[in-house]
Amino acid sequence: MTKPASVGAVEELPREKIEHFDRELQAILKRYPPDRKAAAMLPALRLGQEVFGYASPAVQRLCADRLGVSAARAEEVATFYVMFHTEPVGAHVVEVCTNVSCSLCGGERIFEYLKKKLALANGQTTRDGRITVREVECLGSCGTAPAMLVDEEMYERLDVQKVEQIVGGLK
Amino acid sequence: MSETLILSKRWGKPNSAALETYRQDGGYAALDKALGMEPGAIVDEVKKSNLRGRGGAGFATGLKWTFLPKDVRPRYLTVNGDESEPGTFKDRYILEHDPHMLVEGIAITCYALDIHRAFVYIRGEFAKQARSLEKAIADARAAGIIGPRLLGKKDFDLEIVVHRGAGAYICGEESALLESLEGKKGYPRLKPPFPAVSGLWAKPTIINNVETIANIPWIIANGGEAFAALGVGKSGGTRLFGVSGHVNRPGVYEKPVAYNLKKLIMEDAGGVVGGRKIKAVIPGGSSSPVLTADEIDISLEFDAVKAAGSMSGSGGVMVFDESTCMVRVLSRISKFYAEESCGQCTPCREGTSWMEGIVHKIESGHATVADVAKLEQISGNILGMTICALGDAAAMPVQSFLKKFKHEFLQHAEEHRCPYGDHGWGLEQSSRAARVGAITY
Ligand SMILES: Cc1cc2nc3c(=O)[nH]c(=O)nc-3n(C[C@H](O)[C@H](O)[C@H](O)COP(=O)(O)O)c2cc1C
Ligand code: SF4
Ligand code: FES
């Protein structure tokens, strides 16, 4: 059962951005066997999140449509993985590790400091839409703890001053 | 006596990740040698090497490879770079500083096992590491090392694909990893069948850790026996041990598999901060049972750590000094497993969140002595009752903390407060310079 890309799946999304998404998706699809397009769900959602800002239900439906799976399946995947944002987030997402090795070196204190400074609770976004702060699990940087991820960039060996500098520098 | 370095020897050299650097250092000569061997002879060398999986379970690699059914094609290789077990941080440096060693290991493994498509699953948070490996693969392809022919001489089509995860510890479990690679949520599969028989898209699939596969070029270049000779008994080679927590020099240290745990902490990692005493050590990632200070004068070899009542697991050693509150530590570990349980089986889903709740209640001074007993009982009801090993991974720390540090739990319950006040994570919570091979961070 093949059907053309249904407009219904994507009508809330701007056309130029969809074209951009489709172009980039072609390169991703080359990595998987032609009869296993569904395998590209994680990279497709990541791409959708980059292009459209977050993995909204419309983005989920777009991915489902392009990969030939049900919208329910795309939603299941988008909500399972913590790196997919199914709700709008700030321009920057600051994720502080508070797992054991980091907290032994001050990770939990850094997270508390950041929440206080920005007057946010875990997972919230500043009112200007600039920064979302959240607590995350071990980032695989335990030797260079404490660690945090800002968007795709890992920052390690942190202290409060460094965090202040990094977060202060976010546009 | 100079130590043999297999995995970390190029870390810190200029352009260590570049193809020319790797080639100048003799890289891809092992692949050349392998192409002159019978595939079966390569598998035999790996068996002789006593290489055991570095992902956590320590399963014999050569033996795992023989589980592939003879006549079913295609077969797949998936390399596990999910690296999400708290306390584990080693594969990332292979990907960052020496990705061609992994590419060569994959090429030899695929040639030996008649596999034409390999996937490397890298946790989503490792963007830089994924880019580094992608560049190495592209360069190797452009140089004709992989592609339709291997090293430009052997007709053998090989495609290596980097697949990034998206934030889910459970996807490090091999069958959840396969689900994730198929584009689904990471629900572990019931076993058997094991992946070697029915894995990716129900085809025979070998799953090995990044560090495991990175050893293959050395084994082929130097012979399985030379690798075995670096270890003891049924464990060969060296390992990347990660040391984190309250030590003066945290980092990644490459040592023979049977290296002494106490020596690793007190000498290599520079001992404990502030000259304080060790209270406890978790020897192999957060799921391995905790050891007390007087239990750490042991070999890190898989069976030796098992005999000491714990697991060498992923080689992630976490060190706690005497000023640490063990209830606080367990509280964070329990929160992690409750958070990361996929929710598929009831004992794990409910058990991990009950345990989290009770440990938190004890930590915050709201629990009674009866709660401590209840915690013990709940952990016992998870062990061995679940689809995957995450259930056990969550229960083992609880049982071992209660066994070895019961007095701290009882003290919290009796005094209705944390005796450590606001420094449950220890008196010295600061970052210290880390050693990663020859690199200082
Ligand atoms: C909950 C859970 C998480 C795991 N996480 C990882 C991981 O991050 N990396 C890894 O290599 N193995 C991990 N494993 C072990 C894998 O299931 C598998 O045994 C391993 O990748 C096999 O490779 P090896 O034989 O080379 O060690 C995990 C296992 C469980 C139960
Ligand atoms: S043991 Fe836990 S993580 Fe593993 S399948 Fe069951 S619910 Fe999921
Ligand atoms: S505990 Fe924070 S990076 Fe591992």
Q: Would the CB of A139 count as within 6 Å of ligand 3?
A: yes
My answer on whether B176 and B37 are in the same domain is yes
CATH at residue B281: 3.10.20.600
- Taking contacts as CB-CB distances below 8 angstroms, the residues of chain B near A154 are 125, 127-128
How far is residue A109's CA from residue B429's CA, in Å, rounded to a whole number?
9
- Taking contacts as CB-CB distances below 8 angstroms, the residues of chain B near A65 are none
CB contact under 8 A, B441 and A143: yes
Token readout for B9 is 């020897």
Phi and psi dihedrals of B246, rounded to 5?
A: -80, 55
My answer on whether B359 and B394 are in the same domain is yes
Query: Is B436 part of any domain?
Result: no
| pLDDT above 70 for B165 | yes
Confidence band, pLDDT 50/70/90 cuts, at residue A157:
very high
> Ligand 3 centroid to A150 CA: how many Å?
15
> Do B432 and B249 form a contact (C-beta atoms < 8 A)?
yes
Query: Is B12 part of any domain?
Result: no
Mean per-residue pLDDT for A8-29?
Answer: 89
Query: Is B5 part of any domain?
Result: no
How far is residue B256's CA from residue B258's CA, in Å, rounded to a whole number?
6
Chain segment B403-428, per-residue pLDDT in tens? 999 999 999 999 999 999 989 999 99
- Taking contacts as CB-CB distances below 8 angstroms, the residues of chain A near B120 are none
Segment 329-368 of chain B within 8 Å of chain A by CB: 329, 332-333, 336, 339-340
Confidence band, pLDDT 50/70/90 cuts, at residue A11:
confident
How far is residue B402's CA from residue B408's CA, in Å, rounded to a whole number?
9
User: In the listed set B305, B321, B337, which residue is the last one of a domain according to the structure?
Assistant: B321
My answer on whether B306 and B362 are in the same domain is no
CATH code for A10-80? 1.10.10
| pLDDT above 60 for B1 | no
Please provide the average confidence, as pLDDT, over all residues in chain B: 97
> Ligand 3 centroid to A60 CA: how many Å?
30
Quote the pLDDT of residue B139.
98
My answer on whether B186 and B111 are in the same domain is yes
Query: Is B176 part of any domain?
Result: yes
Q: How close B440 comes to chain A (CA, Å)?
A: 10
- Ligand nearest to C-alpha B171: 1
| pLDDT above 70 for A7 | no
* Ligand 2 atom 4 nearest Cα: B388
My answer on whether B193 and B273 are in the same domain is no
CATH at residue B367: 1.20.1440.230
- What is the span of the domain harbouring residue B372? 326-419
Secondary structure class of B151 (helix, strand, coil): coil
CATH topology assigned to domain A92-168: Glutaredoxin (3.40.30)
> Ligand 2 centroid to B185 CA: how many Å?
13
Quote the pLDDT of residue A171.
83
When CB atoms are compared, the residue of B167, B244, B246 closest to A143 is B244
My answer on whether B301 and B349 are in the same domain is no
Query: Is B252 part of any domain?
Result: yes
- Closest CA relative to residue A144, chosen from B86, B247, B286, B431: B431
Query: Is B100 part of any domain?
Result: yes
My answer on whether B32 and B172 are in the same domain is yes
CATH at residue B141: 3.40.50.11540
- Closest CA relative to residue B105, chosen from B175, B30, B47, B21: B30
Confidence band, pLDDT 50/70/90 cuts, at residue B2:
low
Q: In chain B, how long is the greatest CA-to-CA distance?
A: 73
Query: Is B424 part of any domain?
Result: no
User: In the listed set B265, B288, B321, which residue is the last one of a domain according to the structure?
Assistant: B321
Helix segments in B14-126, DSSP class H: 19-24, 29-35, 39-49, 61-65, 91-97, 99-113
- Taking contacts as CB-CB distances below 8 angstroms, the residues of chain B near A31 are 161, 163
Tell me the C-alpha to C-alpha distance, in Å, between residue B196 and each of B61, B67, B174. Answer: 12, 6, 11
Phi and psi dihedrals of B253, rounded to 5?
A: -120, 125
Query: Is B83 part of any domain?
Result: yes
> Ligand 1 centroid to B246 CA: how many Å?
26
Token readout for B365 is 């001074």
| pLDDT above 90 for A151 | yes
Residue position matching structure tokens 């791409």: A47
How far is residue B111's CA from residue B294's CA, in Å, rounded to a whole number?
47
- Ligand nearest to C-alpha A148: 3
Quote the pLDDT of residue B110.
98
- Residue A99 CA, closest ligand 3 atom number: 1
Q: DSSP code of B270?
A: -
| pLDDT above 50 for B326 | yes
Burial of B364 from C-beta contacts in 10 A (0-12 / 13-18 / 19+) = middle
My answer on whether B150 and B251 are in the same domain is no
Please provide the average confidence, as pLDDT, over all residues in chain A: 94
Quote the pLDDT of residue A3.
44
Chain segment B196-235, per-residue pLDDT in tens? 999 999 999 999 999 999 999 999 999 999 999 999 999 9
Domain count, chain B: 3
> Do B185 and A77 form a contact (C-beta atoms < 8 A)?
yes
My answer on whether B262 and B158 are in the same domain is no
Quote the pLDDT of residue A1.
37
Strand ranges for B283-341 from DSSP E: 291-292, 316-321
Residue position matching structure tokens 């069948």: B193
Phi and psi dihedrals of A10, rounded to 5?
A: -130, 10
Any CB–CB contact under 8 A between B434 and chain A? yes
B28 sits in the region (left: phi over 0; alpha: psi -120 to 50; else beta) called: left
Token readout for A57 is 């239900």
Chain segment B266-313, per-residue pLDDT in tens? 999 999 999 999 999 999 999 999 999 999 999 999 999 999 999 999
Chain segment A90-102, per-residue pLDDT in tens? 999 999 999 999 9
Quote the pLDDT of residue A12.
87
How far is residue A78's CA from residue B168's CA, in Å, rounded to a whole number?
12
Q: Would the CB of A101 count as within 6 Å of ligand 3?
A: yes
Phi and psi dihedrals of B277, rounded to 5?
A: -90, 155
% pLDDT > 70, chain B: 100
How far is residue B54's CA from residue B56's CA, in Å, rounded to a whole number?
6
Annotated domain spans of chain A? 10-80, 92-168
Identify the closest residue of chain B to A45 by CA–CA distance.
Answer: B166
